[in-house]
Amino acid sequence: MKTIRLLYPDHVSGGLETYYFGANLLQYILPENGNQPIVRMEIAPPDGKEKAVTNGIYAEDEMKYRLFRGVITLIGTLFLLVGYRKSTESVDEDK
């Protein structure tokens, strides 16, 4: 496995609440592939509230938090997938 499917329904950085819906819809439109696990970034759905612009960045604090969580999620997923791959390789070697 060399590919993951990243489901990142970020509507804040794109500035459109429909991005959230579109990203979630695509996971059902595209056919499943057992060789490409889905990694979902948990992002709260749009709340309709206007976000503040800080340092010229729309919703800066929220974006920093999401970026941090995203990196942590991807690193954790990578470790899990590498560990799973190594464990299946060792089982194959034992046969």
**From first to last of its 95 residues, what are the pLDDT tens digits of the chain?**
578 888 888 878 777 889 899 989 988 898 888 888 888 888 888 888 888 888 988 888 888 888 888 888 888 888 877 776 666 665 556 55
Using alpha carbons, select from 75, 68, 66, 52 the residue that is nearest to residue 19. 66
pTM for this one? 0.60
Q: What is the count of structural domains for the chain?
A: 1
By residue range, what is the domain housing residue 11? 5-46+53-94
In whole angstroms, what is the distance from residue 68 CA to residue 61 CA? 11
Say if residues 41 and 75 touch (Cβ distance below 8 Å): no
Residue 91 token pair: 């089982």
Tokens standing for residue 28: 């059902």
